[in-house]
Amino acid sequence: MRADIVAGAVFPDYELTDHTGERRKLSDLQGPDPMILVLSRGGFCPRDQRQAEGLVQLYREMEVGYSRLVTISTDNMLATNDYRSGAGAHWTFLSDPARKVQKDLDIAEYTDPEHDPMIPYVIVLEPGLVVFKIYNGYWFFGRPTIEELRQDLRAVLRKCRPDWDITRPELKSAWEQGEREHDGFYPYDKTVAQVFRNGRGF
């Protein structure tokens, strides 16, 4: 992994083709929410298949917890859709057969020249693509457990949600005074209609 990709750094805003054939930027997929980014070997790898299966349950929680999940692999479009469907996944998968991400981040898995995949990583991102935590998953148990990801999301949400603790007197006072559009309350500087019109990414 590139030396500058560390906690607190801004992750590159890659633009890739998703499983439907649409070009998508990571910043657009993330929106104002935390995001878990999975850099995957691809659907050929049984460890990556098992990881994706485990994320299916977490994703159901992430949907109602206003958090995003994206997987990037070096698979082509057909293999990307097979990988996604086989895992029963409903989040966005991005296809990078040109290995743009692999080359830019310097994460070619040189021990597998046949498939030439990325070294698998899981990266937890704060809003704005700010790196919160990085997990190297070359060995399967280097990858985060579902509970570790829940704890990471809790920590990030606590940082980025002004109304995480609505018992704060100033928030209660603003609400009681009718300041329902106060920046301290979700959806902050947007209307609920804007949030869902722009697509929560689900």
Residue bearing the bigger pLDDT, 106 or 175: 106
Task: Return the pLDDT at 202.
Answer: 38
Task: Return the pLDDT at 140.
Answer: 96
Mean pLDDT of the chain: 91
For the segment 15-19, the average pLDDT, to the nearest whole number, is 96
Which pair of tokens denotes residue 197? 């019109």
Residue bearing the bigger pLDDT, 187 or 98: 98
Query: Does the pLDDT value for residue 189 go beyond 90?
Result: no
Task: Return the pLDDT at 197.
Answer: 60
Burial label for 2, CB within 10 Å (0-12, 13-18, 19+), is exposed
Task: Return the pLDDT at 176.
Answer: 85
Per-domain boundaries in the chain = 15-161, 163-202
Burial label for 75, CB within 10 Å (0-12, 13-18, 19+), is buried
Domain 15-161 has CATH 3.40.30.10: yes
Task: Return the pLDDT at 3.
Answer: 96
Q: Which of 112, 42, 27, 29 is nearest to 77 (CA)?
A: 42
Q: What are phi and psi of 151, to 5 degrees?
A: -65, -40
Q: What is the C-alpha separation between 117 and 75, in angstroms, rounded? A: 9
Range of weakest confidence among 40-44, 80-84, 177-181: 177-181
Q: What is the pLDDT of residues 58-116, one digit of tens each?
A: 999 999 999 999 999 999 999 999 999 999 999 999 999 999 999 999 999 999 999 99
Task: Return the pLDDT at 181.
Answer: 64
Pseudo-torsion of CA 123, 126, 129, 130, nearest 10°?
Answer: -90
Percent of the chain with pLDDT over 90: 79
199 pLDDT band (50/70/90 cuts)? low
Q: What is the C-alpha separation between 105 and 131, in angstroms, rounded? A: 14
Its pTM stands at 0.90
Q: What is the pLDDT of residues 107-158, one digit of tens each?
A: 999 999 999 999 999 999 999 999 999 999 999 999 999 999 999 999 999 9
